[in-house]
């Protein structure tokens, strides 16, 4: 079944069938068949459109799920980065007093040597 069927094809057939029925038995029969055929074409078209709609809705759902997953991953990455930054800050903080102690020891040592001299 081709996808680009003009929508008014079936409608025209149906109308012709009605006219044939009024004019005479033979014409009516033919018209009736034509009408039924066009009706089934409309039904097929409707079914196909419904199916396409369902497919589109499915794709939409999948896209939304993917978006949610990506957002969750981004949040997790941000949390990990924050944790890493906190860890780095914690590591840097204890190093600072050690450096100060070393400087004080060096000063004290240099003063000692000066006094000894």
Who wins on pLDDT, 12 or 45?
Answer: 45
Confidence (pLDDT) at 51: 98
| Each residue's pLDDT tens digit, 38-86 | 778 999 999 999 999 999 999 999 999 999 999 999 999 999 999 999 9
Looking up tokens 């040597």 gives 113
Nearest to 9 by CA among 34, 28, 30: 34
pLDDT at position 18 over 60:
no
Q: Evaluate if pTM is beyond 0.85.
A: no
| Each residue's pLDDT tens digit, 82-106 | 999 998 888 887 666 667 777 777 7
Residue partners of 30: CB distance under 8 A and separation at least 6: 17, 20
| The token pair that represents 57 in the structure block | 């809705």
């Amino acid at each position: 079944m081709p996808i680009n069927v003009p929508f008014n094809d079936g409608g025209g057939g149906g109308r012709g069938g009605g006219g044939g029925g009024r004019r005479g038995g033979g014409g009516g029969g033919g018209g009736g068949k034509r009408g039924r055929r066009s009706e089934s074409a409309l039904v097929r078209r409707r079914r196909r459109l419904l199916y396409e709609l369902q497919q589109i809705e499915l794709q939409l759902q999948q896209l939304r799920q993917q978006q949610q997953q990506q957002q969750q991953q981004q949040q997790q990455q941000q949390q990990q980065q924050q944790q890493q930054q906190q860890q780095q800050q914690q590591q840097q903080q204890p190093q600072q007093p050690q450096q100060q102690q070393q400087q004080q020891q060096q000063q004290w040592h240099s003063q000692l040597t000066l006094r000894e001299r």
